[in-house]
Amino acid sequence: MKHIAAITLVFFCLFNLSAQEEKEKKKFKMPKMNIGEKIGNLTGNLMTGKSDDLAEVSVKASYICSVYPPEIATSEAKYFPKGTYEGDYLASITFFKQEGMGLYEILGEVTCEGEPMEYVGMGSYLTKFPIPSLAPVKIEIKTETGDEASFMLHRTPEIEILTVNGDQFLPILDLAEDIELEYYNPEGSEGTRVRVSLITDVMGARALNHFAEFTVAKAGIQKVTIPKESLANPEIAGQLNTGQFNKGENFLIVEREVITGKEKYGADQNPGEIATSELKTVSYASIPVIVKGKQEEGIMASLKVRARTEDKTLGYEFYKPNATTGIPFSKASKFGLVSFTMSASTFKQESETSERSWTVGDTKYTQTTTTTTTYEFPQLPAEHWEYVMDRIYKDVAIFFSDNYEIDFVPVEDVVNTPQYATLFPANEELNKSKVAMSYKGTQRVNPEGIFEVFGSISSNQTADNPKVNMMKAAGELDGLMSMHIELQVAGNKEGHVVLIPKFTISISGRDENNNSKQGKYVDGYVVRTTGEPFNGDLLKTSKEELLRVCSHETILMAMQSGIAALRAKEIEMGYDKIWNIGVE
pLDDT tens across the length of the chain (584 residues):
333 333 333 323 333 333 333 333 434 455 555 544 444 454 445 578 999 999 999 999 999 999 999 999 999 998 898 899 999 999 999 999 998 889 999 999 999 999 999 999 899 999 999 888 889 999 999 999 999 999 999 999 999 999 999 999 999 999 999 999 999 999 999 999 999 999 999 988 999 999 999 999 999 999 999 999 999 999 999 877 889 999 999 999 999 999 999 999 999 999 999 999 999 999 999 999 999 999 988 899 999 999 999 999 999 999 999 999 999 999 999 999 999 999 999 998 888 888 899 888 888 888 888 888 888 999 999 999 999 999 999 999 999 999 999 999 999 999 999 999 999 999 999 999 999 999 999 999 988 877 667 666 666 778 788 999 999 999 999 999 999 999 999 998 888 999 999 999 999 999 988 888 899 999 999 999 999 999 989 999 999 999 999 999 999 999 999 999 999 999 999 999 999 999 87
In a domain, 163, yes or no: no
Residue 95 CA from chain centroid, whole number = 21
Of 349, 408, 338, 410, the closest CA to residue 377 belongs to 349
For residue 223, which phi and psi values (nearest 5 degrees)?
A: -125, 140
In a domain, 4, yes or no: no
Separation between Cα atoms, residue 557 and residue 392, nearest integer Å:
11
In a domain, 244, yes or no: no
Please tell me whether residues 479 and 572 are part of one structural domain: yes
3-class secondary-structure state, position 432: coil
Please tell me whether residues 306 and 401 are part of one structural domain: yes
In a domain, 192, yes or no: no
Please tell me whether residues 272 and 417 are part of one structural domain: no
In a domain, 419, yes or no: yes
Please tell me whether residues 509 and 382 are part of one structural domain: yes
In a domain, 195, yes or no: no
Question: Residue 435 belongs to what domain range?
Answer: 302-578
Please tell me whether residues 43 and 111 are part of one structural domain: yes
This prediction's pTM: 0.86
Please tell me whether residues 350 and 444 are part of one structural domain: yes
Please tell me whether residues 423 and 520 are part of one structural domain: yes
The bridge status of strand 363-376 relative to strand 314-321 is unpaired
Task: Mark which of 224, 258, 276 sits at the end of a domain.
Answer: 276
In a domain, 197, yes or no: no
Interacting residues of 583 by C-beta distance below 8 A, sequence separation 6+? 214
Please tell me whether residues 331 and 272 are part of one structural domain: no
Interacting residues of 495 by C-beta distance below 8 A, sequence separation 6+? none
Which H or E run includes 401? helix 382-404
Please tell me whether residues 340 and 474 are part of one structural domain: yes
**Count of domains in the chain?**
2
Please tell me whether residues 312 and 450 are part of one structural domain: yes
In a domain, 194, yes or no: no
- For 160-169, which contacts have Cβ atoms below 8 Å and span 24 or more sequence positions? 160/184, 160/285, 161/252, 161/254, 161/285, 161/286, 161/287, 162/221, 164/252, 164/287, 164/289
Please tell me whether residues 361 and 450 are part of one structural domain: yes
Please tell me whether residues 272 and 310 are part of one structural domain: no
